[in-house]
Amino acid sequence: MGIRRADFAGSWYPGTASECRKEIEYFSDTAVPCPHGGQKAVGGIVPHAGWFYSGNMAFNVLKCLKETADPETIIIFGRHLHAGSSSYITIEGEWETPFGALEIDKKMADNLVSEFPFTIETDTRYEQDNTIELQLPFIKYLFPDAMILPIGLPPDPVAISIGARAAEIAEDLNRKICVLGSTDLTHYGNNYGYTPKGIGKDAVDWVKNENDKTMVDLMVQMNAEEVIKESRIKDNACCSGAAAAAISASKKMGAQKAEKLIYQTSYDIRPADSFVGYAGILFFGSL
């Protein structure tokens, strides 16, 4: 049981605790208000670009979760996968962050592995992927004693089943959890080989007001099945399996409502012909 290294520290986000803390304090000072309205946030959707582009949004979602939740384990669904890919899980050990390592919830992992086929990753045998790691310093900072359960899921109905079952297992174990689905939205431009509306302002408007909006609306409607279907047709979510799993798990946890917290694109931060959309969404149940 070793410690998986923080591969993206020092590049996609700061590499030291003091530098991460400085960034996080800025994100906290500039965060938008959390729309709890007397309800408990049980999960959310977070983006996973470098902190320069979307760190404020991911942190804001977790900060809002912190206001009403005290999880023992945070389940993070992520991974860039395609339909037909394996599901991935880490079942033991720790994952490093600049603030210290996060423990993997082995008991929950063992339960899931006994019921579903997974490719099991370890601290020395894994594929680098930013979707989960980019959230970990925020989790360690806000929930220093929490465990994590990192799960990679493809855009396939199995993601919905695994998400729901993870929530049921947590209840069976009397484990307090929160869930995150890590996905970015439309990847537009020549850099991504996707230019159905050409290049320029019209393309940016289309991504924001049509392609991304359709996906965000489906997430807010908590329609896990359509999130997967839509992404496979419109290329407007890179990790729709992860998002669908978070929706499915949140609904099992009693969530009946979702709200968009923030939406923006990398174009808003640094205009370019190639850009990516991001959204922060919260799922709410009863207090």
Q: For 121-152, what is each residue's pLDDT tens digit?
A: 999 999 999 999 999 999 999 999 999 999 99
According to the model, what pLDDT value does residue 130 have?
97
Domain coordinates in residue numbering, the chain: 35-286
What stretches in the chain show pLDDT beneath 70?
Answer: 287
In whole angstroms, how large is the CA radius of gyration of the chain? 17
For strands 177-182 and 73-78, give the pairing.
Answer: parallel
According to the model, what pLDDT value does residue 157 have?
96
According to the model, what pLDDT value does residue 180 have?
98
Fold adopted by 35-286: Protocatechuate 4,5-dioxygenase; Chain B (3.40.830)
Burial label for 142, CB within 10 Å (0-12, 13-18, 19+), is middle
According to the model, what pLDDT value does residue 215 have?
98
DSSP 152: E
According to the model, what pLDDT value does residue 184 have?
98
According to the model, what pLDDT value does residue 169 have?
98
Q: Are residues 214 and 153 in contact, defined by beta-carbon separation less than 8 angstroms?
A: no
According to the model, what pLDDT value does residue 37 have?
72
According to the model, what pLDDT value does residue 38 have?
72
Q: Are residues 98 and 21 in contact, defined by beta-carbon separation less than 8 angstroms?
A: no
According to the model, what pLDDT value does residue 247 have?
98
According to the model, what pLDDT value does residue 287 have?
61
